[in-house]
Chains A and B, each alone.
Chain A
Amino acid sequence: MNIGSLISALPGAVAQGLIWGIMAIGVYLTYKVLDIADLTVDGTMATGGAVCVMMLLNGANLWLAILCAVLAGMIAGLVTGIFHTAMGIPAILAGILTQLSLYSVNLAIMGFKANQGINFRTTRILISSRNVKVIGFENPIFIMIIVTALLIGVLYWFFGTELGASLRATGSNEHMARAQGINVNVSKIIGLMISNGIVALSSALYSQYQGAVDVNMGRGGIVIGLAAVIISSVIFGKIFHNFALKLMGVSLGAVIYYIVIQIVLWMGLNTNMLKLLSALVVAVFLAIPYWKGKFTKGARHA
């Protein structure tokens, strides 16, 4: 085991972590702020890439393609929101339904192909895994830090507005929020739209980074997103109180997740066991707050 090969693999892990960190911020908004477990994201994580790649291949402007990807994700969130609020379907089931239907929608977007490559040699794209060690503006890590910072800035501003505050109120106490005259259904729909729009942004960037979009790209994505959210709340929960810092912590959580995976691969883990390990990492981080509670309680009694 050569430590040099681990270090040289780290930039790739950080870049991938930052891209998934955007997705994790989307998950954080529904899971923590809005208190909804939204499973739509497994589908949206492919939708954004599908829209972006297909538009780029048809000669669209790069920024327009990314914008349309975000809008497509927001529509997916809108559908889940309508399922949940107007049709009374429990949130988790509404998400599963949208995710299921997105499979067909994604195929249709991709012209009924399951997988479509996009090539940095022939198409202008924003980020590519090829540049991960290049020093300059095209470095994915540099680009992702800027994108993440911009996103956090916009979200910080939004959640400070009256509308944003009503979203947070809906998540923390739905009945109280309703009593204050907030239309909680509208809040939930807007929250789901924003969240899925962000996930689609991550998807659009990720498909460019890895050079392809695949209809199964988002499968299991929610686990990575939740892992990032949980890792960040365990590690940074006591340090980061400011909302912007919390979002940054989520992004760092995703980076830590991918660094752990990279270390594990470097240690020569049989990759067939990787899914088991991912589950264990999440389980350990989920258990820490619980153990911590027991530990402190025990100490007090002693």
Chain B
Amino acid sequence: MKKTLIICLALIMCLTCSTVFAGGSSEKAAKTTYNVGICQFVQHVALDAATQGFEDAIIEALGKDNVKFNYQNASADMATVTTIINSLVSDKVDLILANATPPLQSAASATDTIPILGTSITDYATALGMPLDGTGATGINVSGACDLAPLDKQADMIKELFPNAKTVGLLYCSAEANSIYQITEMEKYLDKLGIKHTRYAFTDSNDVASVTQSACSACDVIYIPTDNTAASCTEAIRNVVEPAKVPVVAGEEGICSGCGVATLTISYYDLGYTTGKMAVQILANGADVSKMPIEYAANPIKKYNAELCKSLGISIPSDYTAI
């Protein structure tokens, strides 16, 4: 008897807790035409910008009242990704936006009918465990936009800014598939330019400083790809590279503004916007997602961090924009 009472009490507690936390996300239940589910992997400036761009593109094309977004964030937890994707699929949303690699994989595994668009994804073939077809489409219910910055041009940038550099240290987090892919590609381009390179992988934010330290003592220039962990540890990296007078060339703007001197950047907002336009094609114009080629970010921009360039005494050519 008491036991039942206690169990009931516990259940009521759980439910009350969750009602308290249940906030605004379900309030706007206006009459809608399209239901779009969004699963973002982790809270992150770049991913947030991509989601924003995606929503803006759809709202602009279809109007605010004709689309309803169900935005869910997995807080970097794979198990939560599966749960979120399960909700979206059973809600029978009209389209799923998978923002980063794990949601894309989970969604591709959970449904072969609902169109899935990826954004902030570097390598679709590896993520899906299958090759792309000749046109750059997947052939299944998945397409999207690729966040790969033009790595060859980034390698040229290193050569242009630091013609005397002998060794480039490649600093990245070993847990991030995207970073490892970029580093492997970068090595090929550096080999072509005849620049030596060494990998410096850190495991998580705890060993960033010491790995950066060892990179600084052996290299003239450090390159950091679009690495999420590095992006969240730019201050720690800067505290090592600035006193050591080692310049950092970064794969994206966020890292560059924190600890780098220059970057050739793509805008994640634009990337999300591109993805949003693909979504409009699918939702409103009935395009076949399996035949849509993966799209790439257009117009990379050369940018520099004026403050750090000054402190390191680096002169930057005039075609660079200050961040």
Contacts and interface: CB of A to CB of B under 8 A. Distances in A.
Interface string A95-135: 00000000100010000111111111111000011101100
Contacts of B43: 272
B190 interface: no
Interface in B15-65: 15, 17-19, 21-26, 43
Contacts of B22: 264, 267-270
B175 A215 contact: yes
Report the contact-size class of chain B (Cβ under 8 Å from the partner): 35 or more
A264 B26 CA distance: 12
A275 interface: yes
Given A12-B89, A267-B18, A271-B74, A214 B129 contact: no
Given A216-B76, A292-B2, A268 B87 contact: no
A85 interface: no
Contacts of A103: 175, 203
A277 interface: yes
Given A117-B129, A128-B109, A211-B105, A9 B91 contact: yes
Nearest to A5: B91
Interface stretch (A26-34, A141-149, A169-177, A281-289): A281-289
A214 B78 contact: yes
B110 interface: yes
A214 B74 CA distance: 14
Nearest to B73: A271
Interface in B203-234: 203
Interface string B172-186: 001111011100000
Interface residues of A, number: 72
Contacts of B91: 5, 8-9
A277 B127 CA distance: 30
Interface centre among A11, A118, A212 (most CB of B within 10 A): A212
A294 B38 CA distance: 46
Contacts of B25: 268-270
Contact of B14 (A120, A214, A260, A262): A260
Contacts of B174: 107, 112, 114, 215
A234 interface: yes
Interface stretch (A61-69, A186-194, A217-225, A241-249): A217-225
A209 interface: yes
Contact of B106 (A13, A132, A210, A221): A210
Given A114-B175, A268-B25, A224 B19 contact: no
B305 interface: no
A291 interface: yes
Contacts, number: 196
Contacts of A20: 79
B165 interface: no
B103 to A, nearest CB: 10
Given A271-B74, A288-B6, A129 B85 contact: yes
A16 B129 contact: no
Given A12-B89, A114-B177, A268-B22, A212 B79 contact: no
A266 B87 contact: yes
A285 B7 CA distance: 9
A180 interface: no
Given A20-B79, A277-B17, A288-B6, A116 B106 contact: no
B2 A269 contact: no
B87 A119 contact: no
Contacts of B76: 216
A137 interface: no
A11 B109 CA distance: 15
Given A112-B180, A288-B10, A1 B80 contact: no
Interface string A40-63: 000000000000000001000000
Interface string A194-215: 0000000000000001111011
Contacts of A274: 75, 77, 80
Contacts of B129: 57, 116-119, 122-123, 211-212
Nearest to A260: B14
Interface in B82-107: 82-87, 89-92, 101-102, 105-106
Nearest to B125: A117
Contacts of A280: 14, 17
Given A112-B180, A130-B112, A269-B18, A212 B83 contact: no
14 contacts: A5-B90, A12-B86, A107-B175, A112-B180, A119-B128, A121-B130, A123-B129, A212-B105, A262-B83, A267-B19, A271-B80, A271-B84, A291-B6, A296-B2
Given A268-B23, A272-B73, 6 more contacts: A57-B129, A128-B109, A132-B86, A211-B110, A271-B84, A272-B75
Interface of B: 2-3, 6-7, 10, 13-15, 17-19, 21-26, 43, 72-87, 89-92, 101-102, 105-106, 108-112, 126-130, 140, 174-177, 179-181, 203
Q: Which 4 residue pairs across A and B have the least CB separation, nearest first?
A: A211-B109, A268-B26, A12-B86, A212-B105
Interface of A: 1, 5, 8-9, 11-13, 16, 20, 57, 103, 107, 112-123, 128-130, 132-133, 209-212, 214-217, 219-221, 224, 234-235, 238, 258, 260-277, 280-281, 284-285, 288, 291-292, 295-296
